[in-house]
Amino acid sequence: MILQGDNVICASETGSGKTLAYLVPLVDKLIIRSQIQQETDPQDSLRVNSPRALILVPNRELATQTYEMLVKMLKYTELNAEVVIGGERTQRKLNHPKYSEIDVLVSTPGVLSKLITNRLQDVSRVHTVVIDEADTMVDDSFSDLVRRILGRMMIQGGGREGSGEYSRGAQLVLVGATMPRSLLDTFDGIVPIESLTRVATKHLHKFAPHVKQTFHRTKPGQKAAKALELVKSSLQAGQIMMIFCRSSETCNWLSQFLEENGVLAPALNGAMMQRFRRGRFEQFQRGEFRCLVCTDIASRGLDTTLVTHILNYDFPQDISDYIHRTGRTGRIGASDRGQVTSFITYPDEAEVVHKIERAVRAATVFENVNANITRRINIKYGMTQDQLKSMGKMRSNMPSSQL
């Protein structure tokens, strides 16, 4: 569908190979277009900071991972890729722009929006834009930025014209392991909804049957001791673990608690200073430590084939986060089927477990995969729409080092 030039929604379960599914046709199209361009308008390829394809992802770790995969794929071509994420590199680029020719740009929305505003990136030449982890990117805290970026280019009406040329405008590809009902609302007015071709697997929004999942009722005061016992026994058995917490504060505390009790378990969360966060996930991937304590920043899209055990120290409040967290183990290419252990402490967590159990017993899809963080805050604290928009503006105006 991507090769045909359609606007596409690509949806399949976690760990099923979605990144390659969109990168392979994307690179194929770039090679063909590059050859045609060299014959018809060789000077056009010399435009600097003007990518021909754009990949938007929600966090730095996924941006780096996608970029590294792209570099491997482009090794024997004349194409090049660049990644732009928050931190020192972006600050240098904002202050001292280094102009370069780019075929594929991988970036997070906040940083790219700033670069476009400062006229350091031009997206007018983009012919294919991929939004990876689309369910996360349409969260209210991201959607304004995404719409702003897409508003800088014209999205096509879909398909090919009779001449064999792609229809005028950029092709849009939405990719995700969960597709909430609110997804299409975000793109209303940007792309004709009827132009989107849906490509989905039959396992979407379903329980992963090959991954063993265990739920433990646990009192709040028991969680730390139980986690320590579980982690030590798992590591002694040779397992590689990811422990998920609901907040950065709990994540940092649990990491310190485990290390004080003889378990090396570094933290990874969005509140960390950039110099501590940079490269942390890559170290985990290289096996420099076998236990990572993290927030949901590490639950989306990251390739965690080596992970064999997931611990939900804080159980997620919605089905979407549960699907993504459990998807960090039992992935395609993994040598172990994987297992998930969850601590259930509060009534709202038990309600989510009951939804999971009903879906498993009936062999049906999960009822609701909407994980709109800002909307959940609105429901919980009764915030107004103006206050929610204010939150979005605050995020848009954050320094790029924090995005």
Q: Do domains 7-200 and 212-362 have the same CATH topology?
A: yes
Q: For the domain with range 7-200, which CATH number is right: 3.30.1370.60, 3.55.40.20, 3.40.50.300, 3.40.50.720?
A: 3.40.50.300
How confident is the model over 303-336, as pLDDT tens digits? Answer: 788 899 999 999 988 888 888 898 888 776 666 7
Which residues are CB-contacts of 223 (< 8 A; sequence separation ≥ 6)?
313, 343, 345
Q: Where does the pLDDT of residue 168 fall: very low under 50, low under 70, confident under 90, or very high at 90 and above?
A: confident
Q: Which of the pair, 335 or 217, is modelled with greater confidence?
A: 217
Average pLDDT, the chain: 81
What is the structure's pLDDT at 22?
A: 95
How confident is the model over 228-263, as pLDDT tens digits? Answer: 999 999 999 999 999 999 999 999 999 999 999 999
* Whether pLDDT at 105 is above 80: yes
pTM of the model: 0.74
What is the structure's pLDDT at 401?
A: 35
The 3-class secondary structure across the chain, one letter per residue, is CCCCCCEEEEECCCCCCHHHHHHHHHHHHHHHHHHHHHHHCHHHHHCCCCCCEEEECCCHHHHHHHHHHHHHHHCCCCCCEEEECCCHHHHHHHHCCCCCCCCEEEECHHHHHHHHHCCCCCCCCCCEEEECCHHHHCCHHHHHHHHHHHCCCCECCCCECCCCCECCCEEEEEEECCCCCCHHHHCCCCCCHHHEEEEECCCCCCCCCCCEEEEEECCHHHHHHHHHHHHHHHHHCCCCEEEECCCHHHHHHHHHHHHHCCCCCCEECCCCCHHHHCCHHHHHHCCCCCEEEECHHHCCCCCCCCCCEEEECCCCCCHHHHHHHHCCCCCCCCCCCCEEEEEECCHHHHHHHHHHHHHHHHCCCCCCCCCCHHHHHHHHHCCCHHHHHHHHHHHHCCCHHHC
What is the structure's pLDDT at 375?
A: 43
What's the mean pLDDT in 192-213? 80
What is the structure's pLDDT at 370?
A: 54
How confident is the model over 72-92, as pLDDT tens digits? Answer: 999 999 999 999 987 655 555
* Whether pLDDT at 140 is above 70: no
What is the structure's pLDDT at 318?
A: 81
How confident is the model over 32-61, as pLDDT tens digits? Answer: 988 887 666 665 555 778 899 999 998 888
Q: Where does the pLDDT of residue 379 fall: very low under 50, low under 70, confident under 90, or very high at 90 and above?
A: very low
Q: Where does the pLDDT of residue 218 fall: very low under 50, low under 70, confident under 90, or very high at 90 and above?
A: very high
What is the structure's pLDDT at 153?
A: 87
What is the structure's pLDDT at 365?
A: 67
What is the structure's pLDDT at 43?
A: 58
What is the structure's pLDDT at 167?
A: 54
* Whether pLDDT at 201 is above 90: no
Domains of the chain by residue range? 7-200, 212-362
The CATH number of 212-362 is 3.40.50.300
